[in-house]
C-alpha cells in the first residue's frame, strides 16, 4: 500500500473539525444532607464535577440531568449559581433535562439551564417552600418521658419536635418561608423571562405538573430526551461525556457514607443507625409527595 492510499484512509475532516463535546452533570436525589449516613446533593459534593465539566476540551455545551424532588433551597441556589457563573465566564450554553421529577429545589437547579426540557410524564414545578418534621409531644407524655431542655434566648427551642407546637413559632416559620419563596419566584422570573405563560398565582402556588402541562405553562422549553435534543442542537456527531465524581468504596458497596460528624463513631453505633432510619423516612416523604 502506497503513501497516497494510507493518507486516503486518514479521517482528515474529522481531525480538522472534531465533533463537539457536551459535559453531562447528573443531579439525582434530595438536595441537602439528610443525616450522618445519607448525603444529599450539595455544592461541596458537586463543585469538583462542575469545574471539570466546564474545563473539557471542545466543549460545546453542558447538560444537566436532573432527578430531584427538592430539598435545601440554600444548596440548590449555591449549585445553580456556580453553574451560571461558569457558563457566563466560559460563554457555554447550558441545557437542563428533567427525568422523573424536577420539582421544588429540583426545578431551582433546572433554572440554571438556558433551556429546560422534560419528558411528557416528568413532574415539574412545585415552586414553593415546605418544612416537614415530626411531633413527639403526645408520645412522650404517654410513655412518661420527661423532656429536659434548657436555653438562653426565648426563641432558641422554636418548633422543638418534643414540645407542643406554638402558634407564634409557626408564624415565625411562615415569615422565613415567605422570604425563601420570594427568592425562588425572583429566580424563576429572571431565568424564564418572556417565557412564562400561566398566571403567577398559579405558577408560584407550589403546584406541580406533567411535562406536557409544564410546557404549556412556560416552565420548560420543550419535550425531549437529552441525546435527541443535543443532536438536534449540536449535530449528529456530538459526544456526551458524563462527569462522575469519586465515590468511596464503602458507599459503592453499601450505598452509604461514613458519618462525618468528627466523633469517630462507626456504622455500628445505634445513634447513627437511628439517624439513618429517620433520614430514610424523610427522603421517602420527599419522593412520595410526587407519587414516586
Select which of 55, 90, 141, 156 is catalytic.
156
Among 137, 219, 132, 134, smallest CA distance to 177 is for: 132
**Who's near 85: CB < 8 A, 6+ residues apart?**
none
| C-alpha–C-alpha distance, residues 210 and 167, integer Å | 35
CA distance 91 to 16: 23
- HEC-encoded secondary structure of 66-88: EEECCECHHHHHHHHHHHHHHHH
Per the CB < 8 A criterion, the answer to whether 157 and 169 are in contact is no
Mapping DSSP to helix (H, G, I), strand (E, B) and coil, where does residue 20 land? coil
155 flagged as catalytic: no
Bridge partners of residue 65, in order along the sequence:
26, 97
- The verdict on whether 126 is a catalytic residue reads no
Which is the catalytic residue, given 42, 68, 104, 126?
104
Helices marked H in 144-166: none
Question: Cell 466546564 maps to which residue?
Answer: 54
Give the three cell numbers for residue 101. Answer: 421529577
CB neighbours of 34 closer than 8 A, spacing ≥ 6?
Answer: 40, 279, 280, 282, 283
- Give the catalytic positions in this structure: 104, 156
Amino acid at each position: 500500500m502506497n503513501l497516497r492510499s494510507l493518507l486516503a484512509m486518514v479521517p482528515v475532516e474529522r481531525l480538522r473539525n472534531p465533533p463537539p463535546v457536551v459535559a453531562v452533570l447528573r443531579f439525582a436525589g434530595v438536595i441537602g444532607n439528610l443525616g450522618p449516613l445519607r448525603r444529599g446533593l450539595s455544592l461541596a459534593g458537586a463543585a469538583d464535577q462542575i469545574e471539570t465539566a466546564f474545563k473539557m476540551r471542545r466543549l460545546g455545551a453542558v447538560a444537566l440531568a436532573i432527578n430531584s424532588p427538592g430539598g435545601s433551597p440554600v444548596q440548590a441556589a449555591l449549585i445553580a449559581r456556580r453553574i451560571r457563573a461558569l457558563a457566563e465566564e466560559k460563554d457555554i450554553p447550558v441545557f437542563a433535562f428533567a427525568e422523573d421529577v424536577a420539582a421544588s429545589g429540583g426545578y431551582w437547579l433546572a433554572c440554571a439551564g438556558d433551556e429546560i426540557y422534560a419528558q411528557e410524564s416528568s413532574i415539574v414545578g412545585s415552586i414553593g417552600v415546605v418544612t416537614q418534621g415530626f411531633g413527639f409531644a403526645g408520645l412522650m407524655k404517654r410513655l412518661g418521658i420527661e423532656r429536659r431542655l434548657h436555653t438562653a434566648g426565648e426563641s432558641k427551642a422554636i418548633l422543638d419536635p418534643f414540645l407542643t407546637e406554638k402558634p407564634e413559632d409557626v408564624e415565625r416559620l411562615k415569615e422565613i418561608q415567605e422570604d425563601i419563596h420570594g427568592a425562588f419566584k425572583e429566580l424563576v422570573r429572571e431565568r424564564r423571562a418572556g417565557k412564562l405563560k400561566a398566571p403567577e398565582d398559579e405558577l408560584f402556588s407550589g403546584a406541580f405538573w406533567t411535562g406536557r402541562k409544564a410546557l404549556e405553562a412556560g416552565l420548560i422549553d420543550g419535550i425531549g430526551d437529552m441525546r435527541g435534543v443535543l443532536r438536534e442542537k449540536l449535530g449528529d456527531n456530538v459526544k456526551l461525556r458524563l462527569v462522575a465524581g469519586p465515590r468511596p468504596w464503602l458507599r459503592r458497596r453499601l450505598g452509604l457514607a461514613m458519618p462525618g460528624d468528627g466523633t469517630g463513631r462507626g456504622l455500628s453505633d445505634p445513634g447513627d443507625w437511628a439517624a439513618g432510619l429517620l433520614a430514610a423516612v424523610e427522603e421517602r416523604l420527599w419522593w412520595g409527595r410526587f407519587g414516586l
